[in-house]
Amino acid sequence: TVITNLLSAIPYIGTTLVEWIWGGFSVDKATLTRFFAFHFILPFIIAALAIVHLLFLHETGSNNPTGLNSDADKIPFHPYYTIKDILGILIMFLILMTLVLFFPDMLGDPDNYMPANPLNTPPHIKPEWYFLFAYAILRSIPN
């Protein structure tokens, strides 16, 4: 793919790195499995790092360039902000579950309900600007 082949521009180790990421000499089942696992686990890693960052930030405070002690006006993180954050997450989860369970068609695109026809491309689908020349050539040839 284009993005993984960008790594091949790294001198000396580029092609080896691309083959290691692909899990072989081309994009295959191993590549898709790795990228699926990566895309599944990445939000959890980011959320865990954000929580650790917030805990450290509220424990030690942010950088104070003036050197003045500002402990007097701090509010403890737990239980005040913890309860507030959990309540906000629960409200958003409740709204999302209400939409998903009771109004599932509200979140979908109407084009998803059209029957698929692989021989006919819908007129509103256009490629990105860097593929327009190839698209124009393809459209100029009948059938």
Active site residue 58: yes
The number of CA neighbours under 13 Å toward the Cβ of 113 is: 7
Residues in the chain: 143
Which of 28, 53, 70, 85 is flagged as catalytic? Answer: 85
Which of these is catalytic: 59, 62, 105, 111? 62
Query: Annotated catalytic, 62?
Result: yes
Question: At residue 11, what are phi and psi to the nearest 5 degrees?
Answer: -65, 145
Examine the residue annotation and report whether 8 is marked as an active-site residue of this protein.
Answer: no
CA dist 139 and 110 (Å) reads: 26
Containing 112, the helix (H) or strand (E) segment is none
Residue 128: active-site member: yes
Residues 61, 16: Cα–Cα separation, whole Å = 44
* Residue tagged active-site, from 59, 105, 111, 128: 128
CA angle (95 as vertex; 90, 101 as ends), nearest 5: 115
Q: Show which residues are catalytic.
A: 58, 62, 84-85, 128
